[in-house]
Amino acid sequence: MPDRRQPDSPTDDNPFAAPPEGRPDQPWQPRGGGDGGGDGNGRPDSEGRGGPARWDPTDPIQRRARYALLAGMWGFFFGIFGIPSVGLLLGALALYWGISALRGKPAPKEPGQETAPSGLAALGEAARPQRTAAVSGLVTATLAILLAMSSYAVQLAYKDFYVCRDDALTNAAELQCNRLLPDNFLGQVLKVRQ
């Protein structure tokens, strides 16, 4: 059956269509849907209902939630790849940013103004991605800090081995340092190879 086009209906929302008969041309205006400025058809929202709030880079609470996720993720990667000092620093920053994003306090009240909710509470239902970012940042920050601390603990527990290995001048002397390690899985991982 051939494709037949349906006649244009009055509800057709084509932004490139000519205005209806008898209506004067109007200058182009962006639609207001999704940002609380209208109902999605270019008309202002008469009932005062705003759409979901968007990511606002000027809001420090939302920025901290994103920073927590990024710093925690990179801190975890630095911990995995054996740079515990950077992993510890990024993990601590992510922990601070994540907690401060979740605890976001309202802005101070100015005289004659009501305190409006700010931070993640001001976003309402749209706060879910920011809250998820902050919590994910806290989780990855905790993992990064645990990796860094375990790395430092191993270096402290087997300090004699690390000093011996660093002071060895030949390969044979470096291989002799393996006797300072325990005969377990960790000893096998740290052991100097020929």
Vertex 163: Cα angle to 151 and 182 (nearest 5) = 65
Vertex 60: Cα angle to 75 and 88 (nearest 5) = 15
Per-residue pLDDT tens, the chain, 194 aa: give them: 555 555 555 556 776 777 778 887 777 777 655 444 444 444 444 444 444 556 677 788 888 999 999 999 999 999 999 899 999 999 999 999 999 988 876 455 566 555 556 556 666 666 788 888 899 999 999 999 999 999 999 889 888 888 998 888 888 888 888 888 888 877 777 787 77
Q: For the whole model, what pTM was predicted? A: 0.61
Domain ranges for the chain? 58-105+119-156, 158-194
Distance CA 97, CA 159 (A): 34
